[in-house]
Amino acid sequence: MRVRERMWVGIDVGKAHHHACAVDETGKVVFSKRLSNGQAEIEALIARAGKAAGHVRWALDMTSGSAGLLLAVLRHTGAELVYVPGRLVNRMAGAAFAGEGKSDAKDAFTIAETARLRHDLTLITEPDALVAELRVLTARREDLMGDWVRGVNRLRDLLASIFPALEAAFDYSTRSALVLLTGFQTPGGLRAAGADAIAEHLRTGGAWPRGIPAMVDKALAAAAAQTIALPTEAAVAPLIARLAAQLLDLDREIKDLDKQITAVFGDHPHAARITSVNGFGPVLGAQLLADTGGDLTAAFGSSARLAAYAGLAPVPRDSGRVRGNRHRPKRYHRGLRRVFYLAALSAIRPDGPSRTFYQRKRAEGKLHTQALIALARRLIDVIWALLRDGREFHPSPPITAHAA
């Protein structure tokens, strides 16, 4: 077998099987094969690639989930790894192949060709143990929050179909309102129970004690406003009670997970510096570390590159006579953008530097969202400076040795 100087291997990651395609300096396919997601076959693939070329760069379209074993084996051999986002694979596929056909082999070839032609792909580095654990925990929390939002929306839809007055009376993202629905879902049920039974059910269910009297009054007022029983009550009411109970269990699971995330995040050396910035709590801080790999300065080199990665650095879109037109980039990390946006949203509530900055932007004529995005961009600079200098945030500027 002829040994090439360089070779690029693109892998289309799958749950049970991967497909690998290797190309040389000219873009010619060296080999293309399907392999199972097992250690022996992955090691055999690495050995084959090592015999075919002196230097091999590996490119993957996934860095989590089913790619876990593949990444571990590649890292163990010291392989050079780059990440090719799925959006980029889809765009490059149109240039590499004619027609609309799709297969794992074509995707693997596209990934390999993209790695060969582009030099701006992100290197896949191995995170430390704490960051790897935070990635698992924050990914699980994101799944649970998605289930929570869907569940609450479904609950409100069911309740509005039989008892719209009660649906409008409470915020069903709170535990107390969900406790109420585990016992009462219809106007007739509330009227038959009476104030004392409703209050007792709320107390035993763990509702907020000080809010129980007001909740009882609002529930009975809603029941008095609807005297007609809808024909679907008998079928829908048990569904509402069951869904409310499931949401209460989900709420407990999310709270327990938040405690676990807080404990793990607290052991990271950057934890105190990140949470010293108003707007960043343990959960958002953990998400920041999980999305960036933990070492921001080594991964990005500057706050401007981090801002571009988070989609908070506008890029030019000039054409013809149009100059100075800037817009949000299409390629950015949506999870990281959300982290800084939520941090900015929390930071403007209390008085402080962030709120002052936000109000100044509003006074300049910016809309609420524009001012928040500007604040999110500023928070990137603040976080970057704190991690770079190894210090925590204080409203007053630090005293330098020269000033002292």
197-256, pLDDT tens digit by residue? 999 999 999 999 999 999 999 999 999 999 999 999 999 999 999 999 999 999 999 999
Q: How far is CA 267 from CA 4, 137, 185, 349, 356, in A?
A: 46, 14, 45, 28, 32
> Considering the entire predicted model, what is its pTM?
0.77
17-26, 58-67, 168-177: lowest mean pLDDT where? 58-67
pLDDT tens digits, 283-335: 999 999 988 887 777 777 788 888 888 888 766 565 666 565 555 666 678 88
| C-alpha to C-alpha distance for 214 and 330, rounded to whole angstroms | 48
Q: What percent of the chain has pLDDT over 70?
A: 90
Q: 289 is written with which tokens?
A: 């570390």
Bridge partners, 6 (sequence order) = 55
Q: What percent of the chain has pLDDT over 90?
A: 64
pLDDT computed for residue 323 by the predictor: 61
Q: Which is more confidently placed, 318 or 132?
A: 132
If you average pLDDT over every residue of the chain, what do you get?
88
- CA torsion 105-108-113-114 (nearest 10°) is 140
123-137, 259-273, 381-395: lowest mean pLDDT where? 123-137
Domains of the chain (ranges plus CATH)? 4-126 (3.30.420.10), 132-263 (1.10.287.4070), 271-389 (no CATH)
